[in-house]
Amino acid sequence: MEKQMEETLESIYQKSVAHGDNIITVLQDMQNELGYIQEEAVYWFAKRANIPASQFYGVATFYSQFHLNPRGKHIVTVCSGTVCHVKGAQRIVSKLKEELKLKGDQQTTKDMAFTLENVNCVGACSIAPVVLVNDKVFGKQSPDKMVKNIKPYKE
C-alpha cells in the first residue's frame, strides 16, 4: 500500500476512535478520501481496528451510497422517482447512454470521464424530470436538453 493512502486511513482511524464513529461513518470518510471503497483499504482498516472485513462489506453492500468500483470524474445522476418516471426519465437515460457510449449495464465511460447513475428521488419533483451533474441540479429536462447540458463537462 502507498504511504499516502496509509496515512489517510490512519487519520480516519484516529478520528473514528476519538469520535466513537461507527462503520457507516468510517466507510463514508473512506469513500470521500479515496473516491470509492477499495478492497485494500478495507482489509487494512479491518486489521487496524480489529473488526472482521466482512462487517465492512456487509454494510458497504447494503447501502446504495457506497461504491465498490472506481467512478468517473463527473457523476451524472438521473432521478428515477415517481414523477420523473411518469415525465420520461427513462428516455433521458437512454439518450445519455447513447451519448456517452455506454453499453448494457456499463455505468462508467472508458476514459473515466463520466459515470451514469440513477437515484430513487432527489425530492425536486415539482421541476421533474431532474438530472444532477455532480452537485448541480438541472430541472425540467428533456433528452435533447440534457445532451446540451453535459457538453461543457466533456472537456
Partner 1 sequence: MNREITVNVCMGTGGIAAGAESVMKALREEFDAAGIKDASIRENCKLHKVGCRGFCARDVLMDITIDGETSTYQYIEEKMVKRLVKEHVIGGKPVTEWMVGDDYHTFHDNQEKIVLHDLGKIDPESIDDYLGVDGYKAARKAVAEMTPADVIRTIKDSGLRGRGGGGFPAGVKWSFCAANEADQRYIICNADEGDPGAFMDRSVIEGNPHAVIEGMIVGAYAIGASLGYVYIRAEYPLAVSRLHMALDHARERGFLGEKLFGTDFSFDIKVKLGAGAFVCGEETALIASIEGERGMPRAKPPFPANKGLWGKPTIINNVETLANVPPIINKGAEWFSSIGSEKSTGTKVIALTGKIRNTGLIEIPMGMTLKEIIYDIGGGIENDRLFKAVQTGGPSGGCIPQQYIDLPVHYEGLQSVGSMMGSGGMVVLDETDCMVAIAKFFLTFTQEESCGKCVPCRIGTKRLLEILTRITEGEGRKGDIELLQELAEDVRDSSLCGLGMSAPNPVISTIKYFRHEYEAHINQKKCPAKTCNKLLTFFIREHHCVGCGMCMRACAVSAITGDKKQPHVIDQDKCIKCGSCFDACKFNAVLKE
In the complex, the smallest distance separating the C-beta of residue 3 from partner 1, rounded to whole angstroms, is 29
Least distance from partner 1 to the Cβ atom of residue 113, Å: 23
Q: Shortest gap between Cβ of 121 and partner 1 (angstroms)?
A: 4
Lay out the sheet containing 131-133: strands in order across: 114-119, 74-79, 131-133, 136-138
Task: For partner 1, give the closer residue by CB, 9 or 84.
Answer: 84
Q: Which residues bind partner 1 (CB under 8 A)?
A: 21-25, 27-28, 58-59, 62-66, 80-83, 85-86, 91, 94, 98, 119-128, 130, 135, 137-139, 143
Nearest-approach distance from CB 85 to partner 1, in angstroms: 6
Cβ proximity to partner 1: between 82 and 106 the closer is 82
Residues 132 and 93 sit within 8 Å (Cβ to Cβ): no
Strands 114-119 and 131-133: unpaired
**Residue number, 66 or 114, with CB nearest to partner 1:** 66
Contacts of range 41-46, beta carbons closer than 8 Å, 24 or more positions apart = 41/5, 41/9, 44/1, 44/6, 44/9, 45/9, 45/12, 45/13
Residue placing its CB nearer to partner 1 in the complex, 6 or 95: 95
Determine the Cα–Cα distance for residues 125 and 49; give it in Å rounded to an integer.
Answer: 42
Task: Name 136's bridge partners.
Answer: 133
